[in-house]
Amino acid sequence: GAVVSQHPSRVICKSGTSVKIECRSLDFQATTMFWYRQFPKKSLMLMATSNEGSKATYEQGVEKDKFLINHASLTLSTLTVTSAHPEDSSFYICSVGQTGEQYFGPGTRLTVT
Amino acid sequence: GNSVTQMEGPVTLSEEAFLTINCTYTATGYPSLFWYVQYPGEGLQLLLKATKADDKGSNKGFEATYRKETTSFHLEKGSVQVSDSAVYFCALSNGGGSNYKLTFGKGTLLTVNP
């Protein structure tokens, strides 16, 4: 299956700043990537579907101006959390869709102080 | 809409015990069903899957059978190991190709003690 990496694995930022998280498909050209958010002891919540060369499709209730997604190439999608606040602290995971399955990155732990 | 319900746990077992984690689903049509595992601090890994009724997915000693009549996909393992300690997610997909969505259950934390 597809190998997916994320960078950084952990990031701490101050309230009000912006943070960019990268998701890379290392061995597969991904036209579609997915971004999830996982709260402690909770399931994964799909935030948006990232489409290469076009605008992302956001799930209901997800602020598209706060969570900016850019899928500029077939191997890279980025999620930027703008003007981060402590309530944005979470584990963010991306995935790549391939042949009816999804392959997940290792996740990024964001802590906003 | 689609939904997945799984026992939330936590589940604590001794090594070599039998494991069952229940999962039921609600979906239109004929979804594909998945079990994912998440080890501490990591992303999700596909454990097994089944794409049609009566299919049995299996991997690393884990099994699950797609039961359409009971809309279930229970995960089982005959003898768990300490290394199986993780969070297990049941999920379904109604789509195909690369542009589809997964609906997850809330996850079940499994702890296996030596």
Assess B40–A contact: CB distance below 8 Å, yes or no. Answer: no
pLDDT (average), residues A75-104: 92
**Is B102:A46 a contact under the CB 8 Å cutoff?**
yes
- A40 preceded by a cis bond (ω within 30 of 0): no
CB-based contact B46 A43, cutoff 8 Å: no
> With contact defined as beta carbons under 8 Å apart, do B34 and B55 qualify?
no
Taking only the tens place, the pLDDT of each residue in A48-86 is 998 888 889 999 999 999 999 998 888 999 999 999 999
- By the 10 Å C-beta count (0-12 exposed, 13-18 middle, 19+ buried), B45 is classed as middle
**Chain B residues 55-114 within an 8 A CB cutoff of chain A:** 89, 93, 96-102, 104-107, 109
pLDDT value at residue A35 = 96
Residue B98 pLDDT level (bands cut at 50, 70, 90): very low
Contacting residues of A for B47, CB less than 8 Å apart: none
pLDDT band for position B73 (50/70/90)?
A: very high
Q: pLDDT by residue (tens digit) across B22-69?
A: 999 999 888 999 999 999 888 899 999 999 999 999 999 999 999 999
Tell me if chain A has a CB within 8 Å of the CB of B39.
no
> Which pLDDT does position B95 carry in this prediction?
67
pLDDT in tens, A19-36: 999 999 998 888 889 999
What is the per-residue pLDDT for B78? 97
